Chains A and B, each alone.
Chain A
Amino acid sequence: MTGLLYLIPIALAMGLAGLIAFLWALRSGQFDDLDGAAGRVLFDDPADIEPPASDRSLPP
């Protein structure tokens, strides 16, 4: 039974990590458009991807 002493904190830490990840995703707007995001992937092709914005340059 002593295993519980570290297993419970590990389980809780994993659960908390999930909760924090969810709250982060919520805050950053990942759940704002569930219908559109699913379809977007069908239309993105390399030619459509826009030139990177000025503040974010791609590595050469």
Chain B
Amino acid sequence: MSAVATLAPPRAPEQPTVTAACRHCGAPMARGGGDFCCSGCAGAYAFIRELGLERYYAGRSFDPGARLPRPPEEPAGDAALYAAAAGDGTASLTLLLDGLHCAACVWLIEQALRRDPAVTIARVNLTTRRLFLRWVGEPDVATRLMRTVERLGYRAIPYDAARESGSSEEERALLRALAVAGFAAANVMLLSVAIWAGFPGEMGPATRDLLHWVSALIALPAIAYAGRPFFRSAIAALGARRTNMDVPISAGVILAAGMSLFETARSGPHAYFESVAMLLFFLLVGRYLDRRARGRVRSAAEHLLGFAAAPATVLEANGASRRVPVASLAAGDTVLVAAGERIPVDGSVSQGRSSVDKSLIDGESLPHAVEPGSDVLAGMLNVAAPLRVTVRAVGERTFLAEVVRLMEAVERGRARLVALADRVARRYAPAVHLLALATFVGWAFAGPWQAALLNAIAVLIITCPCALGLAVPVAQVIACNRLFRAGILLKSATALERLDEIDTVVFDKTGTLTRGRPELCREGSSEDADLREAASLAAHSRHPLSRALCRAAPEARAAVGVEEHPGEGLSQATPEGEIRLGSRQWCGIPESTTCGDADLELWLARPGLAPLRFRFEDELRPDARETVSRLKAMGKRLVLLSGDRMEAVERVAAELGIEEWTARVSPGEKCETLRLIASGGDRVLMVGDGLNDGPALAAAHVSISPSSAIDLCQTAADVVFQGASLRAVTEVLEVARRSGRLVRENIGFAILYNLAAVPLAIAGLVTPPLAAAAMSGSSITVVVNSLRLGRRA
């Protein structure tokens, strides 16, 4: 599927009155003036002009489903670790690109990279969204090249190609089998049509036997080669004393091929070689589509996880620092955590004072001050100043491991889910085999055993679950593709089926319904000049509230002589006296002047002026309200479970109109609440992103995580979505509903066709041409029906 060419901006405008679109990313902007929506886009535009690649703007077309080509705010980590050095002085790296829209993006990225003198190969694959790079020099060059890609407006994520090679080899093997089966089916059918047309007629028995022998010559090796995936799976299933869809397929294929060979040898009238070859062909189409979509989605989800596990910086005894994987840390090691980095391990602070953001651990939206001796947990974000952390525990004894244990416990408790197709196959296979046996026994009483066997095999061929084998994968592949293009990754094969069944949606607050970062409220008395002054101090801090101030006043310059006091605030010494920006206590404001929500605020105290208050809110995701009302319209019950403070949760719940909410919930309690809801007969969809949501995500019937969530959640969740928009939740539910209906329709078609054809087969009336027509007819019906899902609703 190629990108749909639209000249309109890719996202629906948030405000109804749009005056301009950003010249780089095309995002609608409500305000007049300025050509760009952000400084990143302005930079990207200048960079592209500097390279002389402006043609990109004329040639591109937006894909409404893809991320805007806006440079990421925070550059991704160290790409050099993932680059592989070849022996000959070159190195290579595969990057996964986010934000590709069309061939113009491919051209832009390739051209920009080829301007770099070191680069020898830069090749973008638009289908898999991967960029392969080879360059002359050290692996370190990777970081520079990745930066180039990011400056153009794309997000690049290093990708371990070796991890994926196994599944792509399997995919190619399937495609080869598909080609061979297709060749055999087409050629044998050609000969068979000649037989059906010419015999009994002008064609003599000798010619017919010759054509049968040629058919056997083509079909038998092809069946032996192309049937291997089914035979292998059937043998594995039988070995485990189970039966699956591949058992009746393999039995039908082998018996029909053997019987046809026998008939050919005794120069009988009927051979089913073309039916067998076609059957394999159609089944392989289904199998290949299934594998392809699943492999692509899985590898995309996997590498997102791999990258989230960033390396840690270890300080060695001699003072040197070294980047190592987190897994190789030992208790007692000292780890350096720069401001803005996530703390990789559980431990205690040995040096430095800073604040840490624990929102991923417990949903708290405010940072906490830490000082030497404070305990910190893996997953916390260090926001203010560099810290040295002594590793206290690794492996089993960390908080993280505890949460993982909790998750494993609930996962064991969850009944193993069986895919719908397998459930159908489990009942279907024995029924089919019994039916064939009954046909054989019945006809054996009435006449010679050869005729009885032939009729029994006709039953097996007719009932071979060809349409059934296509019914689920085709619908799923199309749904997967559609979601993949919208930045939604389905990690579990049965997720769509389960999503279709849910009736309660449980949300986490921080980072899920909200953006997980505070924004300044633009109300009250703060004058622009005051705001600028506060921002000029705040520019020295990475505290979330300071950064929100800077975002609110981007034109402010950083002031000189500012000192940060972690956990308290900032101070600037001026001739008139000290200016302070920070908490209520830091600025010496008495508690009595409380006005409303006491937590998300900053005070600015200046000598000779009344202290000024800035209020912040953890902003809701742009379409949270719309998503909630749409979910309500779908008739879902909504619940909000958060580990955050009572007031914050209450405000969000009231704003969104969610009636059921609970604040200050621990991970275990979340799990418990979910179990309670489930025991009432409801199927629960959990949407969450924090470490505290991990067990709940695993315990829910089905779960969704944003890609900003920690790796643990992305592992536990069935669905991972990218981007700031919560629309993904309703989109997933909608696609799941439609694909569920399609799968049921498809299975209905397949069963209907069997009901019509099986009596004919039992009665001995099915001839090879009838079998072939019925089989392809049902398969094509199923595929065409599924294709309807691909159309944009």
Chain B hits for A50, CB < 8 A: 114
Alpha-carbon distance A32/B191, docked complex (angstroms): 34
A19 touches B179 (CB 8 A): yes
A23 within 8 A of B: yes
Contact B127 A43 (CB under 8 A): no
Please give, as numbers and ranges, the residues of chain A lying within 8 Å of B183 by CB-CB distance.
15-16, 18-19
Q: Is the CB of A23 within 8 A of B179?
A: yes
| Contact residues in B for A38 (Cβ distance below 8 Å) | 2, 103
Contacts of B160-188 to chain A: CB distance below 8 A:
172, 175-176, 179-180, 183, 186-187
Indicate if the CB atoms of B127 and A34 lie closer than 8 Å: yes
A43 in contact with B207 given A19-B179, A36-B125 (CB within 8 Å): no
Residue ID in chain A nearest B125 by CB atoms:
A33
Chain B residues lying within 8 Å of A40, measured Cβ to Cβ, are 103, 106-107
Q: How many residues of B contact A (CB 8 A)?
A: 34
B187 near A11: Cβ-Cβ < 8 Å? yes
Give the chain A neighbours of B102 by CB distance below 8 A: 39
Residues of chain A within 8 A of B588, CB atoms compared: none
Q: Which of B42-75 contact A (CB under 8 A)?
A: 55, 59
Set of chain A residues within 8 Å of B143, measured between Cβ atoms = none
- Asked if residues A43 and B107 are in contact (CB atoms below 8 Å), the reply is yes
For residue B3, which residues in chain A have a CB less than 8 angstroms away from its CB? 35, 39
Interface residues of A in 1-38 (CB under 8 A from B): 1, 4, 8, 11-12, 15-16, 18-19, 22-23, 26, 31-36, 38
Of B127, B187, B203, B211, which one neighbours A15 at CB under 8 angstroms?
A: B187
Which B residues touch A12, using CB under 8 A? 187, 214, 218
CB of B192 to closest CB in A, whole Å: 13
Within 8 A of A (CB), among B193-207: 203-204, 207
Q: Is A32 touching B176 in the complex (CB atoms < 8 A)?
A: no
Contact B106 A39, beta carbon cutoff 8 Å: yes
Does B103 lie within 8 Å of A19, measured CB to CB?
Answer: no
From A8, A18, A31, A33, B126 is in contact (CB under 8 Å) with: A33
Provide the residues of chain A in CB contact with B172, threshold 8 Å. 26
A39 in contact with B186 (CB, 8 Å): no
Residues in A with CB closer than 8 Å to B111 are 48
B104 near A: Cβ within 8 Å? yes
Point out the residues of chain B lying under 8 angstroms from A23, CB to CB.
176, 179
- Picked from A1, A15, A16, A36, the residue with its CB within 8 Å of the CB of B103 is A36
A31 CB to closest chain B CB, in angstroms?
8
Q: Is A42 an interface residue (CB 8 A)?
A: yes
B128 within 8 A of A: yes
1/0 per residue, CB under 8 A from A, across B115-159: the answer is 000000000111110000000000000000000000000000000
* Interface check B210, CB cutoff 8 A: yes
Complex: chain B residue closest to A29, CB-CB: B125
Across the interface, A32 reaches (CB within 8 A) one of B106, B127, B204, B211, namely: B127
Minimal Cβ-Cβ distance residue in B for A35: B126
Please report the C-alpha to C-alpha distance between residue A42 and residue B103 in the assembled complex, in whole angstroms. 8
**A32 near B125: Cβ-Cβ < 8 Å:** yes
Chain B residues closer than 8 Å to A16, beta-carbon distance: 183
Determine whether the beta carbon of A35 is less than 8 Å from that of B1.
Answer: yes
Q: List 6 A-B pairs, Cβ < 8 Å.
A: A15-B183, A15-B187, A18-B183, A33-B127, A38-B2, A50-B114
- Closest 4 pairs (CB-CB, A-B): A39-B103, A36-B126, A43-B107, A35-B126
